[in-house]
Amino acid sequence: AGAVPRGSAGTVLWTSRDKRIGGSLVGVKRAINVACMTDAEAMALLETVGNRKIGEGERDGAAQLPAELDWFPLTVSQAAAYMQRTLMTSNAYLLKLARGKKRWKTLQQSEFNRHRRAGLSNSILET
C-alpha cells in the first residue's frame, strides 16, 4: 500500500486477471471486467503496431502469436514492435519465443543444495 501514490488529483488503475482484487484492492462496484481480444482484434493490433500487412505465408504464425502471449495487448504490441524493428516474421518470432520458454524452464529448475534450507528454491530465478 505504501507504493501506491496518493494525492488530490489523478487515478490509479489496477489491472489484473485475478478477479479477487475486486473487493480487496478496489471496491466491488469499481471493478471492470475486460474481455480478451478477439482473433481479429489481435491481428489488427499486430498489423497496426507492426506497420505492415501480414502476408499469407505468415498468417498461421501470426494467428498463433496472441495465444502464445496470453492475449495481453501489451505483449502483442511489444512483439509486433520488435518484429517490425528487426524485420522478423511472426513464424521466426514464435521460434524465438519457444527457445526462450525452454530456457526459462531450465532457469526455474532447482538443483539440490545441501547447504540450503529445506523448502527454499535454489533456482537462479528465485534466489
pLDDT tens digits along 72-124: 888 899 999 999 999 999 999 999 988 887 766 665 665 555 555 566 555 44
Four-CA torsion 75, 79, 84, 87, nearest 10 degrees:
170
Q: Is 80 exposed, middle or buried (0-12, 13-18, 19+ CB in 10 A)?
A: buried
For residue 57, the 8-state DSSP code is: G
**What pLDDT shows up at residue 125?**
43
Higher-confidence residue of 37 and 21: namely 37
pTM of the model: 0.64
Can you give the length of the chain in residues?
A: 127
Contact 83, 50 (CB under 8 A): yes
The three cell numbers of residue 50 are 507492426
DSSP 9-54: S-------S-GGGBTTTB-GGG----PPPPHHHHHHHHHHHHTSPP
Phi (first) and psi of residue 26, to 5 degrees: -130, 155
